[in-house]
Amino acid sequence: MLLYWQGGMILQGIINILKPPGMTSHDVVAVLRRRLGVKRVGHGGTLDPPAAGLLVLMVGKATRLSEFITEMDKVYRGEITFGIRTDTLDAAGSVVGSNPVDLTGQQIEAVFSRFTGKIEQVPPMVSAVKHRGKRLYELAWRGRTVPRPSRSITIKKLHLLELYPGKDGYPRALFDCHCSKGTYIRSLAADMGDYLGCGAHLSFLLRTAVGPFALDNSWLLEEIEDCPDPSKCLLPLTSALGKLPRVIVKPTAVKTVSHGNRLYPAGTEGMGTPLDPGQLVRLEQPSGNLIALAHWTVEATSGYFRPYKVFYEP
C-alpha cells in the first residue's frame, strides 16, 4: 500500500486498468481521479475508444515517470477484416469501399513478414497527433484531411493465430503484435490491406501488455469502485524502472538526496556493477521506496550521483 503521510494522505503509484471498449483513455483517468480523490492522474499511452485492454495509469508523483512508460513496447491481440475499408481504419468508422477477396494463410503470413521490422507509418487522421496546434481527430471531425509525415516504427513480432475465411468473401485474421511506441495498429491493418490490393480495417483490438505491465495484473473499473481501499491496487514507482540500476542509499544520506544534493558513493550501501558516466540510476531506501532518479557523474578522481528527479519528501 503506497500511502505517504505528509500533512495528509497522499497516494502515488502505478495502476493497471482493463479499459472497456467505448471509453476514451481520458474517461478512465476521470474515473480514477474521482475514486481516488487525486487530481494528478495520467496515462502512459492512449488506447482508442473502440479498443479494450491494458491502460497504465500514473497516480501522484508517478506522473513524473511518464517518459519511461510511454517509451515502452506494446503488445496487442487484434483482428483484421480484409476486403472492407473504413474512414477511420477500424470498425468504428463508415465503410468507404469493399472488395470481396479470397486469401490463404500463406498469403497473410507473407504480408505479415513484409510488415515486420522497422517500417514507415503515416498516422491516421483520427488520432491525437498534432498538426499546427490542432489534434488530427479535431480536423477529421470537421471533414478535413491534411498531409502527415511518416514515422519510423518497429514491428518486433507479427504472428497469425487464426484465419477465418468468411462466407461473405471478407476473411478475418486474428493476430498478435509486439511493437514499438507510436505504432497505430489500425494503420498497420489498412496498410496491409492496401498492399494486398483489397483494402482492410481493424475489426478488433485488445492491448495485452505495456512493457512489464500485463493484462493479467489489471483491474476492472468496477473493482476499483467497490474496493474499500483502492490504494492496495497501486504498484510501486519502481515497477516502471526495472531496467535502471538500483543503488541503495544509507539512511543517513536520504535527507541529502531528498533535497536534491549530490550523493557520493560513501552515502550508499554499495555501487554494484560499474556505471558509465551519465548513466541514470534509481536511488532507493533499503525498504525499496524510491528516493530519486540520478545520473552518475564522474569527476577527475571520483564520482557522485546527481539527482535528476526527486520523489521522496522527508
Catalytic residues: 48
Contact status, residue 237 vs residue 61, Cβ threshold 8 Å: yes
At residue 70's C-alpha, the angle toward residues 177 and 3, to 5°, is: 120
Q: How many CA atoms lie within 13 A of 145 on its CB side?
A: 5
Pairwise CA distance, residues 165 & 186, whole Å:
20
The CA distances from residue 99 to 91, 168, 170, 266, in Å, are 16, 11, 8, 70
> Which residues does residue 16 pair with via DSSP β-bridges, in sequence order?
56
Instruction: Give the three cell numbers for residue 44.
Output: 502512459
Pairwise CA distance, residues 199 & 93, whole Å:
14
DSSP string, 104-158: -HHHHHHHHHHTSEEEEEPPPSSSS-EETTEEHHHHHHTT-------EEEEEEEE
The angle that helices 105-114 and 185-196 make with each other, rounded to 10 degrees, is: 120
- Of 151, 179, 156, give the one whose Cα is nearest residue 72: 179
Pairwise CA distance, residues 202 & 3, whole Å:
41
Residues 6+ away with beta carbon under 8 Å from 282: 238, 241, 244, 245, 246, 247, 290, 292, 293, 294
